[in-house]
Amino acid sequence: MIAYIVRRILYVIPIALGVTVFIFSLVHLAPGDPLSAVVAPDAPKEVVEQLKRDYGFDKPLPLQYVIWLGRAVTGDFGISVATGRDVTSELGPAILNTMLLAVAATLVGFSFGCLLGGIAGYFQGRSLDKLATGIAVAGISVPHYWLGLVLVIIFSVELNALPAMGMGPGGSRAWAWDAAHMRHLILPVITLSVIPMGIITRTVRATVAEIRNQEFVQALEAKGLRKHQVLRHIAKNAAPTVLAVMGLQLGYLLGGSILVETVFSWPGTGFLMNDAIFRRDIPLLQGAILVLALFFVALNLLVDVVQTAIDPRMRRN
């Protein structure tokens, strides 16, 4: 088990390097001058050239990559072209704000997903299954940008019950776990949780339904085990598959939804990257994508390790 974990950790290094090359190339392959979005359209040429030198954009691309990578491993992602602020100081708070939203959406989405999926899988073919599956399909199909806007219209504009945007009085720096701030979480969390809820529901349903029909379950029932004891066995067998999907969904949520964060003006990584894309803020984009990609890699590693820990078949393999 320890050897497996060490091996998986070592695999992360070439994966991370590959990710950096991919991100750097993709961002620089996009057409357009790296400064065009942040300098005035008719800025004097000599000023633009000076800025290019200041940001290192005058150097050959491979050299720019090496310099960037060398700094990135120390946590220095450079200076934002648009704002002049340190990229790390921009990313840090944004990641925390997205994590707040993502963790809350995870709790809501995964809880409901497991519940609905479990019900649907256990009562496969019956009306409860159809109801739960219908809810799941609706969750996956509804565009969450649209859903966010509709929720705002209903709960903020018409009912005046919940706020339409932001992180509360005083903004993210004044965040507190009180009603005044938690109200701001409700609508974006619901919006963000519907897709993961739908996906987890369907995954759990399929897995539970498959396991439910296996011979060992019939054997357990024949032995006289109570329903909740049989369910415990089903859950343990379903866990590795469901965990893998949950890990992917959590990674997706941690990446920050550009659309949801823009609709709710939530100052997370999605909101940050939306602005960085439109302003072609290359250092910020590179830094943000790299950190999020590495999050994803780390999360997958964690899911693999947890899967191995709970599934004896994987340990034997």
Partner 1 sequence: MRALSRRMKLAAAIVAVAMAVGSYASQNARAETVLRVGMTAADIPLTVGQPDNGFEGFRFIGYVLYDALINWDLSSADKASGLTPGLAESWSVDPNDKAKWIFNLRRGVKFHDGSEFTADAVIFNFDKLMKTDSPQYDARQASLVNFRIPAVKSWRKIDDYTVEFTTKEPDSFFPYQICYILMASPAQWAKTKDWQKFAAEPSGTGPWKLDQLVPRERAELIKNSGYWDSKRVPKTDRLILFPIPEPATRTSALLSGQVDWIEAPAPDAIPRIKSAGLNVVANGYPHIWSYHLSRLPDSPWNDIRLRKAANYAIDRDGIVKLLGGYAIAAKGHVQPDDPWFGKPGFELTYDPEKAKTLLKEAGYGKDNPLKVKISISASGSGQMQPLGMNEYIQQNLAEVGIQVAFEVMEWQSLLDRWRAGAKADQNKGIHATNISYTTQDPFSSFTRFMQSDLHAPNGVNWGWYADAEMDELLKGAKTAFDPKERDTWLAKVHTKQVDDAVFVWVVHDVAPRAMHPKVKGFVQAKNWFQDLTPVYIQE
Q: Summarize as ranges the residues that interact with partner 1 (CB under 8 A).
A: 31-33, 35-45, 47-48, 50-51, 54, 82-85, 90, 94, 149, 152-153, 156-157, 160, 163-167, 171-173, 262-265, 267, 271-272, 274-275, 278-280
Report, in Å, the least distance between residue 48 CB and partner 1: 6
Nearer to partner 1 (CB atom), residue 153 or residue 314: 153
Q: Which two tokens stand for residue 8?
A: 């998986």
Could you tell me the smallest distance in angstroms from the CB atom of residue 39 to partner 1?
4
Measured from the CB atom, is 51 or 297 closer to partner 1? 51
* Rounded distance between C-alpha atoms, residue 193 and residue 196, angstroms: 6
SS3 79: strand
312 burial (CB, 10 Å; 0-12 / 13-18 / 19+) is: exposed
Residue 85 C-beta: closest distance to partner 1, Å: 7
Residue from 112, 92, 84 nearest 269 by CA: 92
User: Which is closer to partner 1, CB of 18 or CB of 171?
Assistant: 171
**Minimum CB distance to partner 1, residue 127 (Å):** 37
Contact criterion met (CB below 8 Å) for 120 and 133: yes
CA distance 56 to 75: 18
Provide the residue type at 61 as one letter.
L
Distance between CA atoms of 265 and 257, rounded to whole angstroms? 11
| 39 versus 220: smaller Cβ distance to partner 1 | 39
8/59 with CB nearer partner 1 = 59
Least separation in angstroms between residue 187's CB and partner 1 is 10
**283 touches 80 (CB < 8 A):** yes
